[in-house]
Amino acid sequence: MTPPFTPEGQLPGPAAVEAQRKAIAKTQVALLARLAGTKFSISHQYDGLPLISLEIGADALARLDEAGDLVARVRPDAKRFPQS
């Protein structure tokens, strides 16, 4: 199951921060293991945040769609336009 997330500044102390970071890391490892054998690469893996940026193929997307116990949502990149 996707672990709950609380901003670190709202956690009661260093032990809670460390426990949350370990839970996030464990979930990330489990998710990447589930993607084994599919077409994907890690663009960025965030420390302390329940986020991973991936480049994925259709087979990996299908696995992510099936990973509701580990994935809260999948958001595709949005086209960005230059700011004026």
Give the pLDDT confidence of 41-82 residue by residue, as tens digits. Answer: 999 999 889 999 999 999 999 999 999 999 999 988 876 677
Domain assignment present for residue 18? The answer is yes
| Number of separate domains in the chain | 1
Helix (H) or strand (E) holding 19: helix 14-34
pTM for this predicted structure: 0.82
Domain assignment present for residue 19? The answer is yes
CA distance 24 to 56: 21
CB 43 within 8 A of CB 53: yes
Structural domain for 38, as ranges? 12-66
CB 5 within 8 A of CB 16: no
25 is written with which tokens? 């890391």
Domain assignment present for residue 77? The answer is no
Domain assignment present for residue 3? The answer is no
Domain assignment present for residue 5? The answer is no
Find the distance separating the first CA and the last CA of the chain, reported in whole Å. Answer: 42
